Amino acid sequence: MRARIYRSAKREFDCKVESTGEIVQAKALGNLLKGKRSLVVGDYVEIIDENGELVITEMEDRTSEVFRILVREQKRKVISSNCDLMVILISVSRPTFKRGIIDRFLVRASQWGIRPVVVFNKMDEYDPEEFDICFEQDRLKALGVDCFECTALDKEYVPKYLEKGYGELVEALRDRTAIFLGQSGVGKSKTINALAGGEIKVELKTNIIGKSNKGSHTTTWAEMLDLDLFTLIDSPGVRSFSLQDIMSDNFIEYFPDLEEMSTHCKFNNCTHKEGVKGCAFYLIEDEYQAKLLFSRLQSYWRILEELEVTPDWQKK
């Protein structure tokens, strides 16, 4: 029978059987865990009943993997799989809006092969004086990233004009496996709880690792939570903003808009710095388009600088 892994221990897995919706415990055949192979939360597997004991005999190919490169150990650690949406949650008030954080998470989405969307939360507190949300959304739409304007306030306090964004987000999430990312305090728990049906159904255990295993950031667990609308993958290990495990060589691939533009630069090794001859970025006629792209270039430079701190050979 077909099932999906919801939680994993060393060799024992909690799996949800597709046909019945039941959660069962199963052990994995040794060859599924040998060498670099592993079974992770999100995997679709085949289970058989062997004299009363449930055994995982096969794993289906993954459509996507959430993973980390453990730089020091030079290992690629898969945390979860088959996730089809990355929800990047941003607060428009407190904590203050930071464009760079979105660009960072977009790099991860691209690395993991997961479609990103951006949710601008706390729209009830949005102040146009602080930043121009239209510019930010144009910037993302140019990348094909859908944006939603939401507020995670209790239903009766949600202003009418904000119902639309929430409704659209609900549709985008329907029947998907999603991972929510965002800074502390942006409203992930609130939003997820609201999406889960109003009352608090899930209290995301963000601090479990911190309490039981002080200071250890490489330990990552992941679990899936079945919400009525969608399935949530939660793992503290993937939330960090650091991108230090990503190779700096060819990093521009993670910025497809910049990569495209740079094909028009006169020289292959163009640095796109001001005053460089034949750089396509300084030839863009539309002022607004130029402004959008330059804001991306700024992020690109800032992250690249950080990546170059760790040499690429350590990230293989």
Binding site for Mg ion (CB under 5 A): 188-189
Residue 204 CA, distance from chain mean position: 16
Contact call for residue 279 and Zn ion (CB under 5 A):
yes
Q: Which stretch binds Zn ion (CB under 5 A): 148-156, 236-244, 274-282, 290-298?
A: 274-282
Partner in contact with 184, chosen from ligand GTP, Zn ion, Mg ion, none, beta carbon below 5 to 8 Å by kind:
ligand GTP
Helix, strand, or coil here: 33?
coil
Query: To the nearest whole angstrom, how small is the minimum distance from the Cβ of residue 153 to ligand GTP?
Result: 5
Interface residue with Zn ion among 1, 24, 270, 284 (CB under 5 A) is 270
Amino acid at 207: N
Partner in contact with 312, chosen from Zn ion, ligand GTP, Mg ion, none, beta carbon below 5 to 8 Å by kind:
none
- Provide the terminal-to-terminal Cα distance of the chain, rounded to the nearest Å: 37
Among residues 4 and 188, whose Cβ is nearest to Mg ion?
188
Tokens of 290: 């130029």
Backbone angles phi, psi at 57, to 5 degrees: -105, -20
Question: Interface mask (CB under 6 A) for ligand GTP, residues 119-158, using x and -?
Answer: --xx-xx-------------------------xxx-----
Q: Which stretch binds ligand GTP (CB under 6 A): 37-45, 126-134, 182-190, 273-281?
A: 182-190
Contact call for residue 70 and Zn ion (CB under 5 A):
no
Query: To the nearest whole angstrom, how small is the minimum distance from the Cβ of residue 316 to Mg ion?
Result: 34
The Cα 42–Cα 64 span in angstroms is 10
The footprint of ligand GTP on this chain (CB under 6 A) covers a number of residues equal to 16
Contact call for residue 265 and Zn ion (CB under 5 A):
yes
Query: To the nearest whole angstrom, how small is the minimum distance from the Cβ of residue 216 to ligand GTP?
Result: 18
The Cα 217–Cα 240 span in angstroms is 10
The Cα 148–Cα 172 span in angstroms is 10
Interface residue with ligand GTP among 113, 159, 167, 185 (CB under 6 A) is 185
CB atoms within 10 A of CB 15: 26
Radius of gyration, alpha carbons of the chain: 22
Among residues 259 and 306, whose Cβ is nearest to Zn ion?
259
Among residues 93 and 244, whose Cβ is nearest to ligand GTP?
93
Query: Does the CA dihedral 307-77-110-96 come out positive or negative?
Result: negative
Tell me the H-state helices in the chain: 99-112, 133-141, 163-173, 188-195, 208-212, 256-262, 287-307
Partner in contact with 265, chosen from ligand GTP, Mg ion, Zn ion, none, beta carbon below 5 to 8 Å by kind:
Zn ion
Long-range Cβ pairs for the range 54-61 (8 Å, 24+): 54/15, 54/24, 54/25, 54/26, 54/27, 55/26, 55/27, 55/28, 55/29, 56/13, 56/15, 56/26, 56/27, 56/28, 56/29, 56/32, 57/29, 57/32, 58/32, 59/32
Interface residue with Zn ion among 16, 139, 272, 315 (CB under 5 A) is 272
Among residues 122 and 188, whose Cβ is nearest to Mg ion?
188
- In 3D, which of 61, 60, 47, 58 has the Cα closest to residue 17? 47
Contact call for residue 4 and ligand GTP (CB under 6 A):
no
Q: What residues numbered 190-219 form the site for ligand GTP, per CB under 6 A?
A: 190, 206
Among residues 189 and 240, whose Cβ is nearest to Mg ion?
189
**Residues forming the site for Zn ion (CB under 5 A):** 265, 270, 272, 279
**Residues forming the site for ligand GTP (CB under 6 A):** 121-122, 124-125, 151-153, 182, 184-190, 206
